[in-house]
Amino acid sequence: MNLALKELRRRPGRFATATVIITLIAILLMFLGSLLDGLIESSTGAIRAQDADALVYSASAQASFPRSRIEPDIRAAVESVDGVDEVGGIGLVQLGARVPDNGPRDLANVAMFGYELAPDGVPAPPADGQAYADDVLKADGIEEGMTILVGPARTPVEIVGFVSDTSFNGQGGLWANESTWRTTLADNRPDAQLADGVWQSLVVRGDADPDAIDAATDGATDSYTIDGAVAAIPGVEEQQGTFNQIIGVTIAVALVVIGLFFALITVERVSLYGVLKALGAKSMTIFGGLMVQAVVVTLIASAIAAALVVLLDLVIPPGSIPIAVSAGSILSSTALLLLAAAVGCSFSLRRVLKVDPASAIGTTS
């Protein structure tokens, strides 16, 4: 093992090519992981922010706000369930917004929520014609005190403050009171406007089980925990599945690269391994040295990649690419690369075990 570390220090050039290639793979892996986290955050922030125990849709809505309708009698049934402490309506309309000083086609994509119970980090509903905006919308030029024009009807909405991590389906959240939301919905989606007292969904606080809520409404509702509602958002599972497949392929490439590199090194060192075995070194000791070199090279490559990905996150303008770099994402990517290094390096074990001291030394004489 000491011999392996000395070789790394004294002949770093031998490992330069592998380090560069693994660094590039690590950058790709970490960027993909951060991009996946960012996409999930921008798609689910509004639901994750709910200070609630359950989210209730109508039974046929498939966890979609626009498809859901909760009539007043259904709300009353939900409110009567044992363990329910508070029930609040919540609704959504997704539109483009014209921002002052921006071009006529340079629209900000917004997801306006009307709400009764405030989510975490969001104040109580503002006055009519006002809304709190998610801070990702700052990238579109939206500022506090500004009035934006929402939708094709150009409904005016004044921005009275900013909140964080409340986007939905990649659109920055706007949080308005019931009246502002209903007006915006009726102006811009007249076919989807709702009667007074009808909401798209209900936010429930208390100890009631989602199944108990659905039983109380005779199956007229489809209720979820907040985690379940996040998973049920259309497209979230598909995004995760696609990115996980790409990440899996990247890990496989790393495994092959590391395996081939150390297989070549093993071939080059057959005579050296023969000498070491003749001096009493065990095959597993030699292989342990190879493993140490693979781990060290991978750690160096991962450290360089992590620094570059963090720098990339700082350079990318907020709101342009939904990337969320975190220590957890970097550490998980590093762990996957180390696993690939261990598996890839193990391909050389068979060749090390087969080295015969006499023939190896004889080859060099």
- Residue-wise pLDDT for 153-180, tens only, equals 999 999 999 999 999 988 999 999 999 9
The pLDDT, as a whole number, for residue 250 is: 85
**What is the C-alpha separation between 243 and 36, in angstroms, rounded?**
7
The pLDDT, as a whole number, for residue 341 is: 83
The pLDDT, as a whole number, for residue 363 is: 52
Q: What is the mean pLDDT of the chain?
A: 86
Does residue 156 sit within a domain? yes
Asked whether residue 132 falls in the same domain as residue 249, the answer is no
The pLDDT, as a whole number, for residue 267 is: 66
The pLDDT, as a whole number, for residue 365 is: 46
For CA atoms 211, 216, 222, 223, give the dihedral sign. Answer: negative
**What is the C-alpha separation between 219 and 223, in angstroms, rounded?**
10
Asked whether residue 73 falls in the same domain as residue 212, the answer is yes
Asked whether residue 218 falls in the same domain as residue 254, the answer is no
| 2 pLDDT more than 70 | no
Give the mean model confidence (pLDDT) for residues 222-236: 90
CB 102 within 8 A of CB 74: no
The pLDDT, as a whole number, for residue 171 is: 92
| Parent domain of 15 | 2-43+237-364
Number of compact structural domains in the chain: 2
The pLDDT, as a whole number, for residue 324 is: 83
pTM score, whole prediction: 0.77
Asked whether residue 218 falls in the same domain as residue 357, the answer is no
| 124 pLDDT more than 70 | yes
The pLDDT, as a whole number, for residue 364 is: 47
Asked whether residue 85 falls in the same domain as residue 202, the answer is yes
Radius of gyration of the chain (CA): 29
Which one of 202, 224, 246 terminates a domain?
A: 224
pLDDT level of residue 47 (50, 70, 90 thresholds): very high
**What is the C-alpha separation between 163 and 168, in angstroms, rounded?**
13
Asked whether residue 202 falls in the same domain as residue 69, the answer is yes
CB 160 within 8 A of CB 142: no
**Identity of the highest mean pLDDT range in 83-87, 104-108, 346-350:** 83-87
Strand partners, 202: 56, 89
**What is the C-alpha separation between 70 and 194, in angstroms, rounded?**
10
CB 44 within 8 A of CB 231: no
CB 263 within 8 A of CB 81: no
Residue 118 is given by DSSP the state P
**What is the percent of the chain with per-residue pLDDT over 90, rounded to a whole number?**
53
CB 54 within 8 A of CB 84: no
Asked whether residue 220 falls in the same domain as residue 241, the answer is no
- CA distance to 115, 340, 344, per residue, from 258 (Å): 53, 8, 5
Asked whether residue 75 falls in the same domain as residue 214, the answer is yes
Lowest mean pLDDT among 64-78, 200-214, 236-250: 236-250
Does residue 49 sit within a domain? no
Which amino acid makes up residue 346? S
Asked whether residue 147 falls in the same domain as residue 194, the answer is yes
